[in-house]
Amino acid sequence: MNWIYLEDIKELDHIKKESEEHPVLIFKHSIRCAISSMVINRLERSWKQEETMGIKPYYLDLIRYRDISNRIEEEFSIPHQSPQVIVIKNGKPIYDNSHMGINYDDLKALVKS
């Protein structure tokens, strides 16, 4: 999985614009949380580029960049969770889930829709 690290709050404007061309996934990860580590590991093991070609994955380290997570919550009206996946398309969230609800098959289905 080729993560793009989300480290600057200004990148959110770029992500919204980029989502007009293809879906963008934001994975909010806490390195201090065992569930978050398990979920990201499961996602990375399942991820197949040929099945998710339309989705560009961004990784957000919540410990270092909580301000970006707060901005995501404001910008997209999605309450903060950790771990959390949000998929943005045409500048709007089309999918969000957290903890054990994060499901690779759901993400694959977004490419087909």
Domain that holds residue 36: 4-105
What local confidence, expressed as pLDDT, does residue 113 receive? 61
pLDDT tens sequence across 8-19: 999 999 999 999
> What gap in Å lies between CA 27 and CA 23, rounded to an integer?
13
> What gap in Å lies between CA 27 and CA 41, rounded to an integer?
12
Average pLDDT of 59-74?
95
> What gap in Å lies between CA 55 and CA 75, rounded to an integer?
20
Looking up residue 32, the CATH number of its domain turns out to be: 3.40.30.10
110 inside domain: no
Scanning 1-113, the segments in alpha helix (DSSP H) are 11-18, 34-46, 66-76, 104-112
Sheet holding 56-61, edge to edge: 4-5, 56-61, 24-29, 84-89, 92-98
34 inside domain: yes
The count of domains in the chain is 1
